[in-house]
Amino acid sequence: MRTDDKLYSITELAQEFDITTRTIRFYEDKQLLKPARRGNTRIYSGSDRIRLKLVLRGKRLGWPLDEIHEILQLYDQPGGEVQQLELMLSKISESRDALLVQREDIELALSEFDEIQIRCEQQLEILQKPKLHRSNQD
């Protein structure tokens, strides 16, 4: 449980994930991150880093930041109240549904790309071997 006691500066994280420090501070503004402070300086723990990773994954999936904020709350320990837990469960199933739609969309796009690619390659073959065609017709 105590394997991630490594700490990070804002520039370290920015470099690791190839984003700007401005972006990281912006996420903090939006309550997505809450790093500790030494004096005025932000210090990021291992779990802060994980949260940032989750944020970036959410971005890659096209979620807006406020949705990412909700999703992140799912990762925090559930309050323990029954209503809280049921709310969480319904949010999870909602998010899962959206993910399944996305996965379906991806499969469709991938197979369409396959078709387009095949057509492209066939066309290329025709264009790149014109002499074979001529010699066949001799």
Partner DNA sequence: TGGTAAATTGACGTTATCGTAAAGGTCAAG
Partner DNA sequence: CTTGACCTTTACGATAACGTCAATTTACCA
Binding site for DNA (CB under 7 A): 9-11, 19-23, 25-26, 30, 38-42, 59, 63-66
When CB distances are held under 5 to 8 angstroms depending on the partner's kind, the choice from DNA, a copy of itself, none that residue 125 binds is none
Among candidate residues 68, 92, 88, the one with its CA nearest the CA of residue 78: 88
Helices (H), 4-128: 10-17, 21-29, 46-60, 65-75, 82-128
Binding region for a copy of itself (CB under 8 A) out of 1-9, 26-34, 37-45, 115-123:
115-123
Extract the tokens encoding 115.
Answer: 């078709």
For tokens 């990070």, what's the residue? 8
Residue 1 lies near a copy of itself (rule: CB under 8 A) = no
* Cβ-proximal residues to 19 (8 Å cutoff; 6+ apart), any chain: 56
What are the residues binding a copy of itself (CB under 8 A)? 57, 60-63, 74-75, 78, 80, 82, 85-86, 88-89, 92-93, 95-96, 99, 101-103, 105-106, 108-110, 112-113, 116-117, 119-121, 123-124, 127-128
